[in-house]
Structure 1
Amino acid sequence: MTGSGLLVGRRKELDELEQLLDETRTGSLLAIVEGSSGTGKSTLVHHFLDRHADLTVASAGGARWEAHHPYAVAEQLLRGPVQRVDPFEVAPDLLQLCEGTTILAVDDAHWADLESLQALSSAVRRAHSHRLLVILIVPDEPPEAVTDGVAQFLAEHHAHRVHVGALTAADVAALARRLIGVDLSGRTARQLCEHTQGNPRLLRQLLDEVPHKRWLEWHASLPVPRAIAASVRRTLHSLSPATRSVIESAAVLGQDCTFSEVARLSVVDQPMTALDEASAAGVLVVRNRRGETTVRFPDPIVKAAVEAQVLPARRQDLHIRAADLVETEGGRLHHLVSATTVTDADLADRLVDYARRQASVGAWSEVADALITASRLSPDTSDREDRLVRGVDALVGAGDLPQALAFEPEIGSGRGGARRDAVLGYLAILRGRPAEAERLLGKAWEQCDPVRDPDTAALIAQRMVLHSLGRLRGAELVEWVDRAVALVDIDDPAAVESEAIKGLGLAAMGRVDDARAAYAELETRARLGAQAQRFRMGKGWLDLSLDDPETARRELESAVPTVYRSGSVRISLWAQAWLARAHFVLGSWDEAIATVNRAAAQIDDLGLELVRPLVHWTGAVTHALRGNWSESRDHLNRADAATNNYEIMLVPACLARAQCAEVVADYESVIRFLGPLTALQSRGGLDEPGTWPWPDLYANALVMTGRVDEADEFLRPHERLAARRGHRSASARLGYARGRIEGARGNIDAAREVFETALQQLSILPLPYDRARVTFAYGQTLRRAGKRREADAVMRSARELYATLGATTYVERCDRELKAGGLHIKRTGPNRADLTPQEQAVADLVAAGRSNKDVAGELFLSVKTVQYHLTRIYAKLGIRSRSELAAHFREQE
Structure 2
Amino acid sequence: MTGPTLTARDDALAALERDLGRPGPGFALVSGPEGVGKTALAEAVAARHDGPVLRAVAAPWETGRAHGVLCQLLPGLDPEPACLADHVARSGKPVLAIVDDAQWTDQESVRVLASTVRHHPGVALRVLATARTGDPRVPAGAVDLLHRCATTRIALHPFTAPEVGELAAACGVLLHPSMAERLWRHTGGIARHVVELLAEVPKATWARFDPDLPAPAAVAARVGTALEGCGPAARRLAGAAAVLGPGTAVRDVALLAGVEDGLLDVLDEAAGAGLVVLGPHGLTEIGPADPMVRAAVLAAMGPAAAAALHREAAELIEDPVRRTRLLVAASPVPDQAVADRLDELATERAAEGAWAVAASLLTDASRLTEDRLSRESRLTRAVDALIGAGDAFAAAALIPEVESLRETPLRNAVLGYLAIVRGRATEAETRLARAWDLVNAGREPDVAALIAQRYVLHALSRCHAGELLEWADRALSLTEANAPAAVEAAAIRGLGLASEGRAAEAAAGYAELSERVRHGAQVQRVMMARGWLNLMVDAVDDARADLGGSVPTTVHGGSARISLWASAWLARAQFLSGEWDDAVRTVREATVLLDRTGIVLAGPLLQWTAVAVHALRDEPEPAAEAMRRADAGPQDYEIMRVPAHLARAHLAEARADSAGVVRALRPLTQSWASGVADSSLWPWGDMYAHALVLEGRYAEADAFLTQHERVAAGRDSAAERARLAAARGRLLGTQGELGRARDRFDESLALLENLPLRYDQARVGFAYGQILRRAGKRREADAVFTTARETFAALGAVTYVARCDRELKAGGVHAPRADRGIAELTPQEEAVSELVARGLSNREVAAELFVSAKTVQYHLTRIYAKLGIRSRAELAARKAR
Q: With the length of structure 2 as denominator, give the TM-score of the two structures.
A: 0.86
Partner of 1:190: 181
Give the C-alpha shift of residue 767 in structure 1. Answer: 0.9
Give the C-alpha shift of residue 833 in structure 1. Answer: 5.8
Partner of 2:787: 797
- Residue ranges of structure 2 left out of the alignment (5+ in a row): none
Give the C-alpha shift of residue 108 in structure 1. Answer: 6.7
Partner of 1:586: 577
Amino acid at match of 2:35: G
Amino acid at match of 1:618: T
CA displacement, residues 700-753 of structure 1 (integer Å, 9 cap, x when unaligned): 222223323222222210122222336321122112322332233333443333
Task: Please say if residues 55 and 97 of structure 2, whose CA atoms lie closer than 8 Å, have aligned partners that are also in contact.
Answer: no
CA displacement, residues 528-562 of structure 1 (integer Å, 9 cap, x when unaligned): 22333222222211111111111211222232333
Structure 1 window deviating more from structure 2 (784-793 vs 192-201): it is: 784-793
CA distance in 1, matches of 2:446, 2:293: 45
CA displacement, residues 499-542 of structure 1 (integer Å, 9 cap, x when unaligned): 22222111111223322332333333232223332222222111
Q: 1:315 aligns with which of 306, 314, 330?
A: 306
Partner of 2:740: 750
Partner of 2:693: 703
* CA distance 1:29–1:417, shift in 2 (3 Å): same
Partner of 2:459: 468
Amino acid at match of 1:39: V
Structure 1 window deviating more from structure 2 (134-143 vs 191-200): it is: 134-143
SS at the partner of 2:406? coil
1:673-752 matches, cutoff 5 A? 673-680=664-671, 683-687=674-678, 689-725=679-715, 727-752=717-742
Task: Please say if residues 185 and 400 of structure 1, whose CA atoms lie closer than 8 Å, have aligned partners that are also in contact.
Answer: no
- Residue ranges of structure 1 left out of the alignment (5+ in a row): 127-132
Partner of 1:129: none
Partner of 1:820: 810
The answer to whether 1:436 aligns with 2:430 is no
Amino acid at match of 2:717: H
Partner of 1:38: 35
* CA distance 1:504–1:221, shift in 2 (3 Å): same
1:366-515 matches, cutoff 5 A? 366-515=357-506
CA displacement, residues 769-824 of structure 1 (integer Å, 9 cap, x when unaligned): 00111111222233344443333222222111101222122212222222333343
CA distance in 2, matches of 1:81, 1:854: 76
Q: 2:339 aligns with which of 329, 344, 348?
A: 348
SS at the partner of 1:578? helix
The answer to whether 1:114 aligns with 2:104 is no
SS at the partner of 2:682? coil
Partner of 1:283: 275
* CA distance 1:377–1:9, shift in 2 (3 Å): farther
CA distance in 1, matches of 2:835, 2:100: 50
CA distance in 2, matches of 1:43, 1:581: 45
Partner of 1:64: 58
The answer to whether 1:167 aligns with 2:159 is yes
Amino acid at match of 2:772: L
Give the C-alpha shift of residue 385 in structure 1. Answer: 0.7
Task: Please say if residues 782 and 808 of structure 2, whose CA atoms lie closer than 8 Å, have aligned partners that are also in contact.
Answer: yes
SS at the partner of 1:285? strand
1:602-641 matches, cutoff 5 A? 602-640=593-631
Q: 2:768 aligns with which of 778, 792, 799?
A: 778
Task: Please say if residues 162 and 177 of structure 2, whose CA atoms lie closer than 8 Å, have aligned partners that are also in contact.
Answer: no
Task: Please say if residues 549 and 582 of structure 1, whose CA atoms lie closer than 8 Å, have aligned partners that are also in contact.
Answer: yes
Give the C-alpha shift of residue 634 in structure 1. Answer: 1.9
The answer to whether 1:888 aligns with 2:875 is no
CA displacement, residues 120-166 of structure 1 (integer Å, 9 cap, x when unaligned): 56899x9xxxxxx9998644447856794x53334668999765433
Structure 1 window deviating more from structure 2 (407-416 vs 297-306): it is: 297-306
SS at the partner of 2:714? helix
Q: 1:662 aligns with which of 641, 649, 653?
A: 653
Task: Please say if residues 263 and 271 of structure 1, whose CA atoms lie closer than 8 Å, have aligned partners that are also in contact.
Answer: no
* CA distance 1:230–1:851, shift in 2 (3 Å): farther
Partner of 2:560: 569
Give the C-alpha shift of residue 441 in structure 1. Answer: 1.6
Q: Percent identity?
A: 45
Give the C-alpha shift of residue 694 in structure 1. Answer: 0.7
* CA distance 1:373–1:142, shift in 2 (3 Å): closer
| Cα RMSD, aligned residues only | 4.4
CA distance in 1, matches of 2:329, 2:357: 16
* CA distance 1:373–1:785, shift in 2 (3 Å): same
SS at the partner of 2:521? helix
Task: Please say if residues 613 and 652 of structure 1, whose CA atoms lie closer than 8 Å, have aligned partners that are also in contact.
Answer: yes
Task: Please say if residues 33 and 163 of structure 1, whose CA atoms lie closer than 8 Å, have aligned partners that are also in contact.
Answer: yes
CA distance in 2, matches of 1:435, 1:267: 60
SS at the partner of 1:524? helix
Task: Please say if residues 345 and 378 of structure 1, whose CA atoms lie closer than 8 Å, have aligned partners that are also in contact.
Answer: yes
Give the C-alpha shift of residue 592 in structure 1. Answer: 1.5
CA distance in 1, matches of 2:670, 2:688: 13
Q: With the length of structure 1 as denominator, give the TM-score of the two structures.
A: 0.85
CA distance in 1, matches of 2:553, 2:872: 59
* CA distance 1:788–1:590, shift in 2 (3 Å): same
Task: Please say if residues 471 and 646 of structure 1, whose CA atoms lie closer than 8 Å, have aligned partners that are also in contact.
Answer: yes
Amino acid at match of 2:277: V
CA distance in 2, matches of 1:872, 1:720: 46
Task: Please say if residues 496 and 525 of structure 1, whose CA atoms lie closer than 8 Å, have aligned partners that are also in contact.
Answer: no
Task: Please say if residues 351 and 371 of structure 1, whose CA atoms lie closer than 8 Å, have aligned partners that are also in contact.
Answer: yes
Partner of 2:323: 332
CA displacement, residues 219-276 of structure 1 (integer Å, 9 cap, x when unaligned): 3411333333344344445556665554344333323445555555556898866655
CA distance in 2, matches of 1:883, 1:57: 52
Amino acid at match of 1:421: N
Q: 2:838 aligns with which of 841, 848, 851?
A: 848
Task: Please say if residues 600 and 633 of structure 2, whose CA atoms lie closer than 8 Å, have aligned partners that are also in contact.
Answer: no
Amino acid at match of 1:529: G
Task: Please say if residues 461 and 638 of structure 2, whose CA atoms lie closer than 8 Å, have aligned partners that are also in contact.
Answer: yes
Q: 2:509 aligns with which of 509, 515, 518?
A: 518
Number of aligned residue pairs = 860
CA distance in 2, matches of 1:637, 1:376: 42
Structure 1 window deviating more from structure 2 (532-541 vs 852-861): it is: 852-861
CA displacement, residues 609-668 of structure 1 (integer Å, 9 cap, x when unaligned): 222211221122112222222222222222226885211111111111211221111222
Structure 1 window deviating more from structure 2 (542-551 vs 811-820): it is: 811-820
Partner of 1:555: 546
Task: Please say if residues 61 and 108 of structure 1, whose CA atoms lie closer than 8 Å, have aligned partners that are also in contact.
Answer: no
Partner of 1:811: 801
Amino acid at match of 1:476: E
Task: Please say if residues 6 and 41 of structure 2, whose CA atoms lie closer than 8 Å, have aligned partners that are also in contact.
Answer: no
CA distance in 1, matches of 2:539, 2:288: 53
SS at the partner of 1:463? helix
